[in-house]
């Protein structure tokens, strides 16, 4: 995890330097705040990875001499087919149409979104079809 | 300072070669000329570096074509070469930036000015006010209002907009600046040639953006004073027959007057 | 050399086994979470968007062919260029790159069975599709589609100056596609950080995957800013706020700061994936490894980092930004881009280059991006920007860049199409397509550079006061038509080559992991994985006697790679 941590921390440090430079030289608030936020967005996961990388065992993908057998077994959970992403997207579609055509679109919008959230969560516990 | 800026170009010119325009023009103000020389300098650099890269690509396409089925040397890196093409571009870029700053500082300088013109952009025309002279010129779209200014004098412009963002773009001055509502943009010109220069808005501002024309007319000081007097005497300028719902019925006008400054 | 890996045992709570077939037909499409099918859907949808955007472009060029044309009205023209830019940038280029090819290739290139979050991946696609439909719905409203330019500057984009549903549909569509992109950014980052195969260290990943990692981080940094800005714009339009209007104490130029803080990283989000594609194609068709792999990685990260600090070079003419800061940062971005160029040439140098269609497209990219990149350096200089901003010079600059990306995209399709579909495309038609595209691009863009320098501003429907500009405009239109012809040839090739030329696992003797598996790859991508000891695992498997070397070292045939 060390390389990942280093990537994010160096990006964050660069943005930190840039944000200080721009804040004091540019006197412009919007840009200063945005670069500062970019720094935070890199430092938060970056520090987390850095902290963990010093405590975890080397993963097979970080070991230059790993064999494929070392990676055998469960890799992760890969849900099969699922109708819920499509349902959630249709809900989001109606929600944004409410912005344009009228508040009553929020009914199918939130309805479909809620249905998808419940359905997707339940599916996550049950396991989808393949 | 102006001379320093033009020095590399002057050196080349003295050496007997005419530096190509590379598509741009010197324009008719002092700052348009230094921006033009900057353009030429950049273009020489671009031509050199561009040619180098093109030659390298063509060379390798021709001479390193597949000749059989053998696998070539699998070379993967060469640190000294890579360092070279990190450091040299940095140096080039610093040079371009330094020259840029010289020209830029000249353009944003604030010399003493003898004429001030308030330029107000609006949908879809221009209003030129000469404070202290009681002269206002105003015109919409194809009325193509004219901003008159004297040659060889520093003219100060106060630019703003009363509605959306427009752009005060004068091609022959090699210059444009946005007219922002609620903001006063200020800059100075010193024209060195007389003439009438067709200009127009260059920032999308709604339906008649394409037709938001204006002209800049540079005249001699005596002519300028005569013009001022005639405008003041005529009361409100005759082009100010503006009513709120003036809408041209034709979509794109079929007949438009061409000014003498058309290139 | 092959370590046999049993197919991964996937976690299935309440284990169903693999007894049922799963849905078929349209239900399969609606419910798939397989990154290969999602990526293919993205690719097809985004190419359809490219054709729509291209059609709008041809109408624009037809209108501009004569100086006082009335093919379209002023109002229609404003809609045309707004939607052309919006469709091409928001709905074609980005989604094609990070939703299409990256979605398909990144998991396979790192030896993963799928993306880290397959259902989130599917959600990304459906949000993108619905967002595209939402934006295009504007054409069917009474007031027409959005018409304020793809950048929607305030106050032009407020409810007083642009009332009507078209603008709101534009905002609504972008809210959906924005979240779609953010979710893809999350998925790509998590997949690359967590799902690499054993031995696939970060510095052995293919350059395309590295570029997608940096792209994903840029998406996460930039897109939320756009989404926030769009919400603010919507509030100004409908909830009575005055964030961007002077009357209420707001600042119109704030919109530009927010928009371009997203907008500049966005153009690198568009460019980096295609840089990556070209960096995959060139080594394979030069039969050498990538030259300067580490330099490429650091250059990509530098470009990504710098891209967040240059946004106001789009605002040089506002008069209210810190010119020297943005100028020097913009000049500096040229350096890592130059490094990439020399590394691409170095990859080809002393190789055994063969000019397949994919390689022609990649080389065409090099020439075209060279023009676009150099003209970008001009624009980094404020005094030069003052007379080129908002003219056709800028239009030509960014069209050189994006058309170079299209060449890269076509290269990617010709190179990876066989892997994804199992069938090659016809090379003769491909080469015809290449020549029409490459020459068409130059004929299209070069007149526009000159027109900009002669004073032709952007976004004008006609130029009756300057009939001398007509000849260059006519020439540019010829180029645009040639580009259109090349697109037709592409469609012809797809039809002609349909299931005609089976590709096999590795038609190009490719270097990276995707060429180790079948074409198309099986469910969960791999039946078996090779040992990974470099950034070219498939090459090492097929050519164990020719590993990569430092320059100047001769290959020693007796040397055995360290196990």
DSSP of B8-61:
HHHHHHHTTPPPP-TT----SBHHHHHHHHHHHHHHHHHHHHHHHHHHHHHHHH
Condensed to tens digits (0 to 9), the pLDDT of residues B87-125 reads 999 999 999 999 999 999 987 778 899 999 999 999 999
For residue C550, list chain B residues with Cβ-Cβ distance below 8 A.
75-78
pLDDT of residue B253: 36
Helix (H, G, I), strand (E, B) or coil at B202: coil
List the domain boundaries for chain A.
Answer: 2-59, 84-126
Q: Answer whether A24 touches C (CB < 8 Å).
A: no
pLDDT of residue A129: 58
For residue C342, list chain B residues with Cβ-Cβ distance below 8 A.
82, 85
List the domain boundaries for chain B.
Answer: 2-65+76-107, 115-233
Q: Answer whether A28 touches C (CB < 8 Å).
A: yes
**DSSP 8-class letter at C100:** I
Residue C14 included in any domain: no
pLDDT of residue A128: 58
Q: Answer whether C390 touches B (CB < 8 Å).
A: yes
Supply the pTM of this predicted model. Answer: 0.92
**DSSP 8-class letter at A60:** G
**C385: phi then psi, degrees, rounded to nearest 5:** -60, -30
Contact check, Cβ <8 Å, B81/C334: no
pLDDT of residue C530: 94
Q: Which residue from C minimizes the CA distance to A3?
A: C202
Contact check, Cβ <8 Å, C390/B72: no
Of 1.10.1040.10, 3.40.50.2300, 2.40.50.100, 2.60.40.420, which CATH number belongs to B115-233?
A: 2.60.40.420
Rounded CA separation B80/C177 (Å) = 45
Q: For chain B, positions 213-252, list CB contacts with chain C under 8 A.
A: 213, 251-252
Mean pLDDT of chain B: 86
Question: What residues in chain C have per-residue pLDDT under 70?
Answer: 1-21, 551-563
Which of C9, C112, C217 is closest, CB to CB, to A73? Answer: C9
**B75: phi then psi, degrees, rounded to nearest 5:** -75, 140
Condensed to tens digits (0 to 9), the pLDDT of residues B167-209 reads 999 999 999 999 999 999 999 999 999 999 999 999 999 999 9
Q: Which residue from C minimizes the CA distance to A8?
A: C217
Rounded CA separation C210/A87 (Å) = 33
Any contact of B with C, at least 3 CB pairs below 8 A?
A: yes
Is the pLDDT at B138 greater than 90? The verdict is yes
Rounded CA separation C59/C65 (Å) = 10
Q: Which residue from A minimizes the CA distance to C169?
A: A100
By DSSP bridging, strand B185-190 and strand B125-130 are unpaired
DSSP, residue by residue, C25-93: HHHHHHH---HHHHHHHHHHHHHHHHHHHHHHHHHHHHHHTSTT--SS-HHHHHHHHHHHHHIIIIIII
pLDDT of residue A124: 78
Interface predicted TM-score (ipTM) of this complex, two decimals: 0.96
When divided into structural domains, chain C yields a total of 1
Confidence of residue A11 (pLDDT cuts 50, 70, 90): very high
Condensed to tens digits (0 to 9), the pLDDT of residues B139-173 reads 999 999 999 999 999 999 999 999 999 999 999 99
Contact check, Cβ <8 Å, B66/C382: no
Interface test with B, best of C84, C386, C472, C544 (most B CBs within 10 A): C386
Which of C6, C32, C193 is closest, CB to CB, to A81? Answer: C32
- Tokens at B263, concatenated: 């290139």
For residue A62, list chain C residues with Cβ-Cβ distance below 8 A.
201-202
Residue C547 included in any domain: no
When mean pLDDT is compared across B3-17, B39-53, C477-491, the lowest value belongs to B3-17
Q: For chain A, positions 89-118, list CB contacts with chain C under 8 A.
A: 89-90, 92-93, 96-97, 99-101
The three-state (H, E, C) secondary structure of C301-323, written as one string: HHHHHHHCCCHHHHCHHHCCCCH
Is the pLDDT at A74 greater than 90? The verdict is no
Contact check, Cβ <8 Å, A7/C301: yes
The boundaries of the domain holding residue C341 are: 31-542
Contact check, Cβ <8 Å, C11/A74: yes
Rounded CA separation C190/C117 (Å) = 8
Is the pLDDT at B233 greater than 90? The verdict is no
pLDDT of residue C509: 96
Q: What is the CATH number of the domain that holds C138?
A: 1.20.210.10
pLDDT of residue B99: 95
Residue C139 included in any domain: yes
């Amino acid at each position: 995890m060390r390389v990942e941590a280093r990537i994010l921390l160096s990006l964050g440090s660069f943005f930190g330097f840039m944000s200080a430079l721009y804040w004091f030289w540019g006197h412009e608030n919007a840009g200063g705040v945005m670069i500062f936020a970019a720094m935070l967005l890199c430092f938060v996961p970056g520090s987390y990875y850095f902290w963990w990388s010093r405590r975890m065992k080397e993963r097979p993908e970080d070991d230059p001499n790993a064999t494929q057998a070392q990676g055998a077994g469960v890799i992760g959970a890969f849900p099969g087919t699922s109708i819920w992403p499509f349902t959630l997207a249709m809900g989001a579609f109606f929600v944004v149409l409410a912005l344009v055509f009228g508040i009553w679109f929020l009914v199918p919008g939130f309805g479909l979104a809620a249905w998808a959230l419940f359905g997707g969560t339940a599916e996550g516990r049950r396991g989808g079809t393949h | 300072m102006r001379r320093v800026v033009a020095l590399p170009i002057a050196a080349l010119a003295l050496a007997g070669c005419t530096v190509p325009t590379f598509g741009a023009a010197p324009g008719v103000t002092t700052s348009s000329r230094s921006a033009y020389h900057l353009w030429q300098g950049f273009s020489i650099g671009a031509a050199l570096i561009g040619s180098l890269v093109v030659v390298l690509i063509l060379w390798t396409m021709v001479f390193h074509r597949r000749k059989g089925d053998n696998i070539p040397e699998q070379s993967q890196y060469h640190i000294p070469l890579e360092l070279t093409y990190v450091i040299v571009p940095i140096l080039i870029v610093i040079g371009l930036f330094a020259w840029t700053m010289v020209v830029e500082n000249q353009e944003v300088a604030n010399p003493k000015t003898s004429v001030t013109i308030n330029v107000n952009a609006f949908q879809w025309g221009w209003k030129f006010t000469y404070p202290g002279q009681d002269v206002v010129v105003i015109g919409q779209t194809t009325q193509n209002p004219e901003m008159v200014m004297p040659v060889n004098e520093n003219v100060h412009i106060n630019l703003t907009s009363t509605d959306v963002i427009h752009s005060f773009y004068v091609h022959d001055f090699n210059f444009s600046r946005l007219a922002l509502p609620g903001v006063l943009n200020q800059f100075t010109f010193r024209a060195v040639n007389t003439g009438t220069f067709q200009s127009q808005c260059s920032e999308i501002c709604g339906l008649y953006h394409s037709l938001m024309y204006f002209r800049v007319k540079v005249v001699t000081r005596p002519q300028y004073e005569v013009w001022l007097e005639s405008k003041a005497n005529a009361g409100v300028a005759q082009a100010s027959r503006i009513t709120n719902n003036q809408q041209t019925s034709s979509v794109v006008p079929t007949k438009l007057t061409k000014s003498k400054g058309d290139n | 050399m092959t370590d046999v890996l049993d197919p991964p045992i996937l976690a299935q709570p309440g284990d169903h086994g693999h007894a049922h077939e799963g849905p078929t037909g349209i239900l399969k499409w609606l419910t798939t979470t397989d990154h290969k099918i999602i990526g293919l859907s993205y690719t097809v949808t985004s190419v359809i968007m490219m054709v729509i955007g291209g059609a709008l472009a041809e109408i624009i060029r037809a209108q501009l062919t004569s100086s006082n044309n009335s093919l379209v009205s002023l109002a229609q023209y404003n809609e045309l260029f707004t939607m052309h830019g919006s469709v091409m940038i928001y709905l074609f280029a980005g989604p094609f790159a990070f939703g299409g090819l990256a979605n398909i290739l990144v998991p396979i290139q790192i030896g993963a069975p799928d993306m880290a979050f397959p259902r989130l991946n599917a959600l990304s696609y459906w949000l993108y599709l619905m967002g595209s439909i939402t934006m295009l719905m504007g054409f069917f409203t009474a007031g027409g589609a959005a018409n304020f330019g793809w950048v929607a500057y305030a106050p032009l984009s407020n409810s007083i100056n642009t009332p009507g549903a078209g603008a709101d549909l534009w905002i609504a569509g972008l809210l959906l596609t924005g979240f779609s992109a953010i979710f893809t950014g999350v998925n790509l980052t998590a997949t690359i950080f967590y799902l690499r195969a054993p031995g696939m260290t970060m510095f052995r990943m293919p350059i395309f995957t590295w570029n997608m990692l940096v792209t994903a981080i840029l998406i996460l940094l930039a897109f939320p800013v756009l989404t926030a800005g769009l919400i603010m714009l919507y509030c100004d339009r409908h909830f009575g706020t005055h964030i961007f209007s002077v009357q209420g104490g707001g600042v119109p130029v704030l919109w530009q700061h927010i928009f371009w803080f997203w907008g500049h990283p966005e153009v690198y989000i568009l460019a980096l994936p295609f840089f990556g594609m070209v960096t995959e194609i060139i080594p394979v068709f030069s039969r050498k490894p990538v030259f300067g792999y580490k330099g490429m990685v650091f250059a990509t990260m530098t470009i990504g980092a710098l891209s967040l600090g240059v946004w106001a070079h789009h605002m040089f003419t506002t008069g209210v930004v810190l010119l020297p800061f943005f100028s020097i940062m913009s000049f500096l971005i040229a350096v890592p881009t130059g490094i990439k160029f020399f590394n691409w040439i170095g990859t080809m140098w002393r190789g055994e280059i063969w000019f397949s269609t994919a390689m022609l497209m990649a080389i065409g990219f090099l020439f075209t991006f060279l023009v676009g990149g150099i003209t970008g350096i001009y624009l980094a200089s404020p005094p030069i920007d003052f007379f080129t901003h908002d003219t056709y010079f800028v239009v030509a600059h960014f069209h050189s860049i994006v058309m170079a990306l299209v060449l890269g995209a076509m290269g990617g399709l010709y190179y990876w199409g066989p892997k994804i579909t199992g069938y090659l495309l016809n090379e003769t038609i491909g080469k015809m397509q290449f020549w029409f595209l490459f020459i068409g691009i130059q004929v299209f863009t070069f007149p526009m550079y000159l027109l900009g320098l002669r004073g032709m501003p952007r976004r004008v429907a006609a130029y009756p006061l300057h009939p001398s500009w007509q000849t260059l405009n006519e020439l540019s239109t010829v180029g645009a038509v040639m580009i259109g012809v090349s697109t037709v040839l592409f469609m012809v090739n797809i039809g002609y080559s349909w299931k005609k030329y089976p590709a096999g696992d590795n038609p190009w003797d490719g270097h990276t992991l995707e060429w180790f598996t079948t074409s198309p790859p099986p469910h969960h991508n791999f039946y078996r994985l090779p040992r990974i000891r470099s950034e070219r695992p498939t090459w090492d498997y097929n050519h164990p006697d020719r590993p990569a070397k430092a320059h100047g070292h001769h290959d020693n045939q007796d040397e055995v790679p360290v196990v």
